Structure 1
Amino acid sequence: MDADGLCEALRRNEVLVEVLRRAEVLGLPDWYLTAGCVFQTVWNVVTGRPPTEGIRDYDLFYFDAADLGWDAEDEVIRAGARVFADLPVVVEIRNEARVHLWYEDRFGVPCPPHTSTEAAIDSFASTTCCVGVRLDGDRWHVYAPHGLDDVAGLVVRPNPVLAPRAVYETKTRRWQEQWPALTVLPWST
């Protein structure tokens, strides 16, 4: 699968496209819609399911190192809540410049400060998840440092850059229940 094929699959998820269109109006720096809503839409399309099936939330990442305080991020989250209020999904908005401030408390391992939204996407538990998209008008921007073959091929590959093994294994168990056709590669020791 190439970037055009990805965008074609994602266009079938009308909710995802609407989140992308509305995200533009927030004017967030270095933003991407990423994680499950992207690769799970592809999995649904490839396996003949409704495009939104099994997607828990829509992750909107941005990067703003100018103010690392919670209040600045919370202001963006509240603005997003207004923009996405009438959509039938949860849109999780996070400033990836702040992740290092809370990551260890949540996941048990330290996270060095990210330098961009792309760096944050690079650190997902699976390389298959390392995909982000955004719209600039009608122009799609795709970030996929590991390519898209695993996404389209239903292969989940570990990415031991940051996330602990337990995170990978917990996520892949849930994903295999929802998408049994997945091939989950074991965590490398």
Structure 2
Amino acid sequence: MISRLPLDHQLESLRAVLSRNDVLAEVLARAATLDLPGCYVTAGCLFQTVWNVVTDRPPASGIKDYDVFYFDGSDLSWEAEDAVIKAGRDVFADLPAEVEIRNEARVHLWYEDKFGVACPPYESIEAAIDSFAATTCCLGVRVETDGRWRVYAPHGLSDMFNLVVRPNPVLAPRSVYEAKAARWRKQWPELTVLEWPARTVRSTSSGG
């Protein structure tokens, strides 16, 4: 079982599994050419690829988009982010998938309007990943200039390989977690979805 392997072996297995998704492999390679600060390919396209492989589905099955997140606090204007998004459209144009590029330094400007709770400004891309609604979501991968993979996984990889969805009640409200989990379970009924804890203490600390 992969989740019981030493961590370095788990990372090797992660790379082997993710590389089976040809679209994801292209997104990782092309994202590196954009030279975006702190850039990671992150969230659903990663753990859902793993779920697909573990459950013997086609690696890209059910993945609706591929998230490319970066962190640039030097210019928080929408115009600056939009320029990056437009540049990315050209880079990813021929891929059979939607690639969503976002500057996580700007999240606090729109998060409360969308989700109903305030989001303190992030200090890093890693801090943004730390606050995703489920711990399984808290994963980022990028390809370095020398071809090595950098993996950020603050909660480890065991839950992902074991098909466990665990709440991460540090920012996103319960409704967001439950909506995501319900959607995922329809696509991957093998998942074990853990309940939101009865009492939570909201934290604004960053784990970057």
Shorter-chain TM-score range? over 0.9
Asked if 1:146 is matched to 2:155, the reply is yes
Local SS of the residue matching 1:61: strand
Identity percentage of aligned residues: 68
| Superposition map of 1:90-129 within 5 A | 90-129=98-137
Matched residue, 2:191: 182
**Distance in 2 separating the partners of 1:23 and 1:11:** 15
**What are the superposed Cα offsets for residues 81-140 of structure 1, whole Å, 9 maximum, x if unpaired?**
010000000000000000000000000000000111111110000001100000014211
1:5 CA drift (Å): 1.2
Q: Quick one: which amino acid aligns to residue 60 of structure 1?
A: V
Q: Quick one: which amino acid aligns to residue 171 of structure 1?
A: K
Q: What is the aligned length? A: 189
Runs of 4+ in 1 over 2 A off after TM superposition: none
The match for 2:18 among 2, 10, 21 is 10
Tell me the TM-score normalised to structure 2 length. 0.90
Matched residue, 1:156: 165
In structure 1, stretches of 5+ residues that fail to align are: none
Local SS of the residue matching 1:53: coil
The match for 1:56 among 64, 85, 97 is 64
**Distance in 2 separating the partners of 1:51 and 1:22:** 19
**Distance in 1 separating the partners of 2:129 and 2:182:** 21
Local SS of the residue matching 1:134: strand
Matched residue, 2:32: 24
Q: Quick one: which amino acid aligns to residue 122 of structure 1?
A: D
1:3 CA drift (Å): 1.4
In structure 2, stretches of 5+ residues that fail to align are: 4-9, 199-208
Aligned-residue Cα RMSD (Å) equals 0.6
Matched residue, 1:73: 81
The match for 2:176 among 147, 167, 170 is 167
